[in-house]
């Protein structure tokens, strides 16, 4: 049996899956946690920790060096993080991660240099604190000595793939999907945007500082005699794992929340709500990301002194709209809308409200924020009329599935695979090995049908938007 390995290096852990290259059958899996990344607004990790976790996850899965059955490997990683490398290939400082918001002033500075429409037209997205371009500006402003040491910059998945290929692989390689989340690579042109890089530092020679962008099915090197695929970002790998088709919608609730679709054409949203990403196949992946998703559920379960399962039961005991109670779930600021300094707000609480209403408001607040993102994608002329897939830890909650169904008015599908990003990476590994995308993807099942009325759905969404507008002006 010939095997491929899919790697998911996320914010909190590394997961690996060994799959049969022909059937996609899962043969073995492993998981290892990452150290705590810090407290908002700071979120940082030394890249060596990702390597340690990868080694541990492979060991847990039963991998031994020079396993002749392994024919290919691909790494999917958390997007946007900044890995800075000096001229001797040493790490300059801890990697700034996507959810680090210290660079919020630098994102604003970037927009001040060129307006939002200019950025959207150039690279499909407008800078926010999450994007690598803002973190580059932060490093130059705040740590000039470290900035002077930087010879190359790359993303988390780029770094891991580079290390897999070994010390002799001096070239760092990325892919179009992850590159599109930097804020300085254009999905429209398929090139790095030198004018943007000059905005960050006009005195720097950028020609050798950035990874080469590989073709989607390119073999970029070898590891233990196995082909190394170019890898991609975690959201792009998620789309691969689902087998997302035009019109389909993926809503992921994990550490962050994301909603994304496949598009045949690049998107440009000057409002900064929709990031106009590329995908891992040659198409495009317009995406909206929120910072606050399942951690809101964790926090409210703690506040209500109950388990996550009990939080869901409480929520289902209330009604759609939480009896006019609204949570703006911005516990640690927010990315979409761009409110890095915001905090959560519970509006409308009265003596008549119950624990069930509070629990439902917590879930509805997270879901409403993501569905506003879906509306923004639809406003970019992207077809969103297909199936809805719910992913991530939130998909394991029947209450979350039901509330998504109620607030969309559509049935909600969940996947029968626990690690969809690792599955997508395994598909990419198989494609790099064979030259063709394999037919195997995740199977799914219907998890919920809407039971709320159209009036309840519309009123709940409108009330959330009105409270957000009144509280934050957006």
The mean predicted confidence, pLDDT, of the chain is: 95
Tell me the residue range of the domain where 134 lies. 3-235
Helices (H) and strands (E) counted in the chain, each on its own, are: 15, 24
159 vs 1, which has greater pLDDT? 159
Round to whole Å and give the CA distance between 163 and 399.
42
Residue 352 burial (CB count, 10 A): 7
Q: Where are the beta strands (DSSP E) in 230-383?
A: 232-233, 249-253, 257-260, 275-278, 284-290, 326-328, 345-347
For residues 419 and 17, the answer to whether their CB atoms sit within 8 Å is: yes
Round to whole Å and give the CA distance between 291 and 70.
36
pLDDT at 40: 77
Round to whole Å and give the CA distance between 336 and 327.
15
pLDDT at 167: 60
In the block, which residue shows the tokens 């590891």?
223
Round to whole Å and give the CA distance between 262 and 149.
39
Round to whole Å and give the CA distance between 183 and 134.
8
| CATH number where 94 lies | 3.30.420.40
Q: In DSSP terms, which residues pair with 313 in a beta bridge?
A: none
pLDDT at 272: 87
Residue 182 belongs to a domain: yes
Q: Which of 179, 183, 211 is nearest to 123 (CA)?
A: 183
The average pLDDT across 418-441 equals 97
DSSP annotation of 436 reads S
DSSP annotation of 82 reads B
Q: Token pair of 362, please?
A: 């917590």
Question: Lowest-pLDDT range, 128-132, 252-256, 273-277, 417-421?
Answer: 252-256
Round to whole Å and give the CA distance between 94 and 83.
7
Residue 37 belongs to a domain: yes
Give the model confidence (pLDDT) of 50-74 as tens digits.
Answer: 999 999 999 999 987 667 799 999 9
The average pLDDT across 46-52 equals 97
Residue 431 belongs to a domain: no
| Length of the chain measured in residues | 474
pLDDT at 66: 63
Residue 169 belongs to a domain: yes
DSSP annotation of 261 reads -
Q: In the chain, how many domains are there?
A: 1
Sign of CA dihedral 39, 41, 47, 53: positive
Residue 390 belongs to a domain: no
The average pLDDT across 225-232 equals 96
In the block, which residue shows the tokens 């006009």?
202
Q: How confident is the model at residue 294 (pLDDT cuts 50, 70, 90)?
A: very high
H-run or E-run covering 407: helix 398-408
Residue 361 belongs to a domain: no
Is the pLDDT assigned to residue 210 strictly greater than 80?
Answer: yes
Helix-, strand-, coil-residue percentages of the chain, each rounded to 5:
35, 25, 40
For strands 249-253 and 257-260, give the pairing.
antiparallel
Residue 456 belongs to a domain: no
Is the pLDDT assigned to residue 336 strictly greater than 70?
Answer: yes
Q: pTM of this prediction?
A: 0.92
- What 3 state SS string does 192-237 have? ECHHHHHHHCCCCCCCCCCCEEECCCCEEEEECCEEEECCEEHHHH
76 vs 256, which has greater pLDDT? 76
Q: In DSSP terms, which residues pair with 72 in a beta bridge?
A: 4, 227
pLDDT at 219: 97
Residue 55 belongs to a domain: yes
Task: Name the active-site residue from 193, 234, 357, 406.
Answer: 234
Give the model confidence (pLDDT) of 75-93 as tens digits.
Answer: 999 999 999 999 999 999 9
The average pLDDT across 158-168 equals 89
Round to whole Å and give the CA distance between 341 and 94.
23
H-run or E-run covering 406: helix 398-408
For residues 329 and 315, the answer to whether their CB atoms sit within 8 Å is: no
Question: Lowest-pLDDT range, 38-42, 132-136, 180-184?
Answer: 38-42
Q: Which of 367, 381, 356 is nearest to 329 (CA)?
A: 367
pLDDT at 168: 65
Q: Which of 306, 264, 257, 255 is nearest to 285 (CA)?
A: 264
pLDDT at 68: 73
For residues 370 and 290, the answer to whether their CB atoms sit within 8 Å is: yes
Q: How confident is the model at residue 4 (pLDDT cuts 50, 70, 90)?
A: very high
The average pLDDT across 417-442 equals 96
DSSP annotation of 159 reads H
Give Rg (Cα) of the chain: 21
Is the pLDDT assigned to residue 437 strictly greater than 80?
Answer: yes
DSSP annotation of 20 reads E
Q: How confident is the model at residue 260 (pLDDT cuts 50, 70, 90)?
A: very high
Round to whole Å and give the CA distance between 23 and 440.
7
Tell me whether residue 193 is one of the annotated catalytic residues.
Answer: no
């Amino acid at each position: 049996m010939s095997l491929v390995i899919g790697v998911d290096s996320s914010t909190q852990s590394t997961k690996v899956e060994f799959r049969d290259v022909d059937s996609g059958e899962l043969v073995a899996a492993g998981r290892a946690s990452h150290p705590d990344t810090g407290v908002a607004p700071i979120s940082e990790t030394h890249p060596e920790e990702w390597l340690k976790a990868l080694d541990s996850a492979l060991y847990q899965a039963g991998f031994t060096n020079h396993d002749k059955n392994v024919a290919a490997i691909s790494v999917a990683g958390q997007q946007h993080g900044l890995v800075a490398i000096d001229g001797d290939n040493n790490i300059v400082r801890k990697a700034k991660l996507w959810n680090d918001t210290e660079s919020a002033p630098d994102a604003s500075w970037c927009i001040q240099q060129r307006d939002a429409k200019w950025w959207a037209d150039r690279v499909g997205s407008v800078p926010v604190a999450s994007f690598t371009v803002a973190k580059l500006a932060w490093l130059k402003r705040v740590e000039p000595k470290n900035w002077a040491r930087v010879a190359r910059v790359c993303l988390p998945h780029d770094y891991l793939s580079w290390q897999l290929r070994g010390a002799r692989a001096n070239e760092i390689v990325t892919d179009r999907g992850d590159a599109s989340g930097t804020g300085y690579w254009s999905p429209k042109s398929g090139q790095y945007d030198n004018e943007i890089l000059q905005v960050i530092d006009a005195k720097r020679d950028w020609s050798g500082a950035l990874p080469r962008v590989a073709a989607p099915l390119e073999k970029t090197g070898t590891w233990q005699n196995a082909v190394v695929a170019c890898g991609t970002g975690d959201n792009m790998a998620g789309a691969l794992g689902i087998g997302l088709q035009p019109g389909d919608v993926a809503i992921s609730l994990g550490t962050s929340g994301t909603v994304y679709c496949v598009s045949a054409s690049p998107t440009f949203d000057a409002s900064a709500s929709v990031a106009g990403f590329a995908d891992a196949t040659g198409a495009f992946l317009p995406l909206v990301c929120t910072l606050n998703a399942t951690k809101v559920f964790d926090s409210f379960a703690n506040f209500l002194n109950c388990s996550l399962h009990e939080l869901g039961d409480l929520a289902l005991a209330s009604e759609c709209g939480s009896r006019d109670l609204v949570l703006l779930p911005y516990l640690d600021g927010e990315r979409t809308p761009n409110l890095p300094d915001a905090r959560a707000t519970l509006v409308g609480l009265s003596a008549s409200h119950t624990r069930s209403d509070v629990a439902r408001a917590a879930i509805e607040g997270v879901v409403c924020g993501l569905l506003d993102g879906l509306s923004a994608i639809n406003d970019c002329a992207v077809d969103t009329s297909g199936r809805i897939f719910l992913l991530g830890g939130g998909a394991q909650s029947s209450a979350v599935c039901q509330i998504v169904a109620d607030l969309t008015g559509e049935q909600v599908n969940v996947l029968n695979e626990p690690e969809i990003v690792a599955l997508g990476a395994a598909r990419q590994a198989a494609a790099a090995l064979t030259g063709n995308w394999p037919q195997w993807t995740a199977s799914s099942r219907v998890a919920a049908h809407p039971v709320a009325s159209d009036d309840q759905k519309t009123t709940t969404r409108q009330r959330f938007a009105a409270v957000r507008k009144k509280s934050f002006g957006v």
